[in-house]
Amino acid sequence: MTDQLERGRIVPNPAAGHVRSTPSASIARPSRPQQHSHPAELRINLGQNEAGNHAVSALPEHLLGRHCAVVGATGGGKSWTLGRIIEEISQFRSKVVLFDAAGEFGALDNGVTHLSVGVASSENEKAVSVPYYHLRESDLFAIFKPSGPSQGPKFRAAIHSLKLALLAPILSADGTILKAHRSKVEFERERARFISQIESPYNEFDIRHLPQQIQNECIDPQRSPTEPMVWGSPNGLDLSYCVPLVNRIQDMVHSPNLEAIFKPRRLPSIFDEVPAFLDDPDSKVLRISLKHLPFEHNTREILGNSIARHLLELARASRFLKQPLLIVLDEAHQFLSKALRDNENFPLDAFGLIAKEGRKYALNILLSTQRPRDIPDDVLSQMGVFLIHRMTNDYDLSVVERASGVISREVMLKVPTLLPGHAVMVGVSIDEPIVLKVNPPKNRPDSRGPDFQNCWR
């Protein structure tokens, strides 16, 4: 498809008696007689033009095919716009995974499965866990952040020992493996036997023993020069380097806020729910509410990244070619932190990779954020369409202007004065910028501000 064909513009649609934002790929089609052998095009009806006399709609492939970003200051209408787009596409045979950071989308219906991490807020929500043993070792590194030359190696060694303690109970009396002054022979033999399970990125071990096992790992590598197969004495220096890590793990593993991860009890795992949703032909939207997940310890980014990586792996295996999947990220800055992504020890780059490669595998992102400056440049620059609600911050404006590429000064001047629900639609998939008023969704996100009149009376 040429660039010319990819672009969109407003053209009259005599059949409907109104004007649509129609990509050139289908410009001629509305005025052509419909051929019965071809089904009508699927369109996402977004709203109306500024004057309110014409409908504005877009083909899914143009609105979402190269990813879409909804940006704007708080109260501009981003969540309502996401709600509108989700409702529109759930009329089709679509699949959407919605990350609902603030728990605003509980009213969505029509083929929606509602999950909530940790605690269910209402009857239609199912509480789920994010068990640490379904996370990867790299995710645990991102959560516990072992640092310095000692903590990282001892942390990894302790995880491997605890996996072995489960696989070969003969090595362990109390769930941990004692090493100081012990022979390595049996340990090495069992380690060789289970090496593939131990090296697996998943974490089949009992995390309650991790603080103790890290301390067990703080030993001299051998007892004497002539005893290479016997571990040495406890090493006080290593132990002192690891004390902060041990304390951090103790606190976090027993924190009530993190029970959904470290004490998953009998709650179903989110990593079982996602494949079940993908296999269920009647379920169109999987909403994951993260309302009860704490902000501390980057749990949101780590969980979001972990699910996104799972979806990316499925996408690379061609899972979505016949039924494209859309990931919707409200408050995307909570999941796509620049600082975490750039950390070379544990990069959280799954959304960035989806932004870059997802299009080929029919895995797309629709994100919203009030802080475009916090979204990594290489993610933002992949967005084919921007829906820009009212935005006043100069820095955010210039970031969006740069990323969207085709936006004019004249259009940008309108952005700071847009009313709630009004937006400018621009981007490489859109020929000319369009100012539109987005139709409110049927089931509105619960995004009301405080009711001062009643509460403070």
Ligand X SMILES: Nc1ncnc2c1ncn2[C@@H]1O[C@H](COP(=O)(O)OP(=O)(O)OP(=O)(O)O)[C@@H](O)[C@H]1O
Stretch that binds ligand X, among 70-78, 92-100, 216-224, 315-323 (CB under 6 A): 70-78
Residue 75 binds which one of ligand X, Mg ion, none, with CB within 5 to 8 A depending on kind?
A: ligand X
Stretch that binds ligand X, among 59-67, 76-84, 188-196, 238-246 (CB under 6 A): 76-84
> How many residues of this chain bind Mg ion (CB under 5 A)?
2
How far apart CA 147 and CA 348 sit, in angstroms, is 17
Contacting residue, 57, 68, 80, 407, with ligand X by CB under 6 A = 80
Does 78 bind ligand X (CB under 6 A)? Our answer is yes
Helix (H, G, I), strand (E, B) or coil at 152: helix
Our CB check for Mg ion shows the closer of 270 and 332 to be: 332
Listed in sequence order, the residues at least 6 apart from 394 whose beta carbon sits closer than 8 Å to its beta carbon are: none
Does 393 bind ligand X (CB under 6 A)? Our answer is no
Does 75 bind ligand X (CB under 6 A)? Our answer is yes
Our CB check for ligand X shows the closer of 75 and 153 to be: 75
How far apart CA 91 and CA 42 sit, in angstroms, is 10
346 neighbors 301 (Cβ within 8 angstroms): no
82 neighbors 63 (Cβ within 8 angstroms): no
Q: How far is CA 335 from CA 6, 389, 450, in A?
A: 30, 21, 25
* Shortest distance, position 447 Cβ to Mg ion, whole Å: 5
Does 79 bind Mg ion (CB under 5 A)? Our answer is yes
For the packed helices 148-167 and 185-193, what is the interaxial angle rounded to 10 degrees?
A: 80
* Shortest distance, position 43 Cβ to Mg ion, whole Å: 25
Does 234 bind ligand X (CB under 6 A)? Our answer is no
Our CB check for ligand X shows the closer of 215 and 370 to be: 370
* Shortest distance, position 424 Cβ to ligand X, whole Å: 14
Residue 76 binds which one of ligand X, Mg ion, none, with CB within 5 to 8 A depending on kind?
A: ligand X
Does 215 bind ligand X (CB under 6 A)? Our answer is no
Which 123-152 positions form the footprint of Mg ion (CB under 5 A)? none
Does 76 bind ligand X (CB under 6 A)? Our answer is yes
229 neighbors 166 (Cβ within 8 angstroms): no
Kindly compute the dihedral angle of the four CA atoms of residues 78, 96, 50, 390, in this order, to the nearest 10 degrees.
Answer: 20
Does 289 bind Mg ion (CB under 5 A)? Our answer is no
Listed in sequence order, the residues at least 6 apart from 445 whose beta carbon sits closer than 8 Å to its beta carbon are: 79, 80, 82, 83, 104, 105, 107
Does 72 bind ligand X (CB under 6 A)? Our answer is yes
> How many residues of this chain bind ligand X (CB under 6 A)?
17
How far apart CA 355 and CA 315 sit, in angstroms, is 12
Our CB check for ligand X shows the closer of 80 and 277 to be: 80
Supply the Cα-derived Rg of the chain in whole angstroms: 26
Helix (H, G, I), strand (E, B) or coil at 95: strand
Residue 297 binds which one of ligand X, Mg ion, none, with CB within 5 to 8 A depending on kind?
A: none
Per-residue binding letters, 403-422, with ligand X (x by CB under 6 A): -----------------xx-
Question: Is 38 buried (19+), middle (13-18) or exposed (0-12) by CB count in 10 A?
Answer: exposed
437 neighbors 47 (Cβ within 8 angstroms): yes
Residue, CB closest to ligand X? 421
Does 95 bind ligand X (CB under 6 A)? Our answer is no
Per-residue binding letters, 25-64, with ligand X (x by CB under 6 A): ----------------------------------------
Stretch that binds ligand X, among 27-35, 71-79, 183-191, 318-326 (CB under 6 A): 71-79
Q: Sign of torsion, CA 345 368 289 280?
A: negative
Does 404 bind Mg ion (CB under 5 A)? Our answer is no
Kindly compute the dihedral angle of the four CA atoms of residues 186, 191, 192, 197, in this order, to the nearest 10 degrees.
Answer: 150
> By the criterion CB under 5 A, which residues form the site for Mg ion?
78-79
> By the criterion CB under 6 A, which residues form the site for ligand X?
72, 74-80, 370, 389, 420-421, 438, 440, 445, 447-448
